[in-house]
Amino acid sequence: MSKKTPDLHAAYSLKSPEENKQLYAEWAGDYDEGFAALEDYQLHHHTARAFVGAGGQGPVLDVGAGTGLCGAILAGLGVGPIDATDISAEMLDQAMRKDIYRDAIEADLNHGLPVSRDSYTGVVSSGTFTHGHLGPETLPALLRVARPGAQFALSINAKHFEALGFADAFRRLEVDQISKLSFTEVRIYGALAAGPNKDDVALIALFEMR
């Protein structure tokens, strides 16, 4: 990993959990002001509102919670309790300062979640599947902690949806694990964004556990 100041380009270049941890440890302190505000980041708004619009309710697991941007929107919409999970302890520390989360769970999705089966009635993820360093192989870890009937809202960068196999993975899951699957395309960044990723779009996958 380069020692350059963390930025969006560095985030899109992540290749491993170790690189992820290093970048977000360095970025945590000014992530909200130095990235979310300057890049007019909007994905957390879209994801939280899609979850609530589909009838989602707590307890909710916010996957890849980062500094708590999506959790803050959920809390503002009356959703709770909310637990945060992220690979970065530093990002979780920032998230917990917002006083919106019940618990913080440091975890690498590649190795599962240290959470009991059927713990949540809702699972949201805004940004975890944006940079391409995590693929659909991590979806079973999320399904395991969800109760029957649990509502999901997972945002996935449209560039990676086919390339990393998300489309095929969802088709397989529809056979006997999930239902009411739908996709909504949204812009990741708003009108104030600049740079090569300003026009990126994501698909928000909405579905329920069977």
- Dist. CA 131–CA 160, nearest whole Å: 8
Question: Cα dihedral angle (128, 130, 134, 137), rounded to 10 degrees?
Answer: 90
Burial of 58 (0-12, 13-18, 19+ CB in 10 A): middle
β 103-106/120-129 pair status: unpaired
Tens digit of each residue's pLDDT (9 = 90 or more) over 126-150 = 989 976 578 999 999 999 999 999 9
Three-class DSSP labels, the chain: CCCCCCCHHHHHCCCCHHHHHHHHHHHHHHHHHHHHHCCCECHHHHHHHHHHHCCCCCCEEEECCCCCHHHHHHHHCCCCCEEEEECCHHHHHHHHCCCCCCEEEECCHHHCCCCCCCCEEEEEEEEEECCCCCCHHHHHHHHHCEEEEEEEEEEEEHHHHCCCCHHHHHHHHHHHCEEEEEEEEEECECCCCCCCCCCCEEEEEEEEEC
pTM across the whole model: 0.85
Share of the chain above pLDDT 90, in %: 71
Tens digit of each residue's pLDDT (9 = 90 or more) over 175-206 = 999 999 999 999 999 988 887 888 999 999 99
Whether the per-residue pLDDT at 31 is higher than 80: the answer is: no
| Of the candidates 112, 116, 84, the residue with the CA atom closest to the CA atom of residue 98 | 84
Question: Cα dihedral angle (200, 153, 25, 39), rounded to 10 degrees?
Answer: 30
